[in-house]
Amino acid sequence: LFPYMYATGDLDAWKNMSDDNCEFCNNAMNDAAALHDIDGWADPWVQEITALGWRIDDTDPNRYVIRINVVSQAHTENPGSNKPSRTVEKSEGPLLIQMYWRGHDWTIEAGEPE
């Protein structure tokens, strides 16, 4: 959803999967919204996500921490306001995502680069 949110400005699906207190989620959503508020957008790009491992929280079996590797292909960001577009270089790295099972779906509680 990350590339979709930046390309379209549609935040609904991202909001629906994010806990209200997820700083990682809120920062990404705010950045995408700010880009679109100035008539900007990012061209869609491909992300490759590979699971590297996971663990269950010892105190709550509904909470999982998942370690993934994210490869984001190079893409173009168009900042709007008649500013020139810029290339966002390819990036790769591990990411930790904390998820919680709410009985009917998963919610992201936190995320951070490793």
Which two tokens mark 35? 């880009």
Which pLDDT score is estimated for 68?
Answer: 98
Residue numbers of the domain that contains 51: 2-113
Q: What is the pLDDT of residue 9?
A: 95
User: pLDDT tens for residues 47-106?
Assistant: 999 999 999 999 999 999 999 999 999 999 999 878 899 999 999 999 999 999 999 999
Mean pLDDT along residues 11-39:
96
State pTM to two decimals: 0.88
Q: Is residue 68 a contact partner of residue 112, using CB atoms and an 8 Å limit?
A: no
CATH code of the domain containing 53: 3.10.450.240
Q: φ, ψ for residue 49 (rounded to 5)?
A: -120, 125
Amino acid in position 6: Y
Distance, in Å, from the CA atom of 35 to the CA atom of 8, rounded to the nearest integer, reads 10
The number of folded domains in the chain is 1
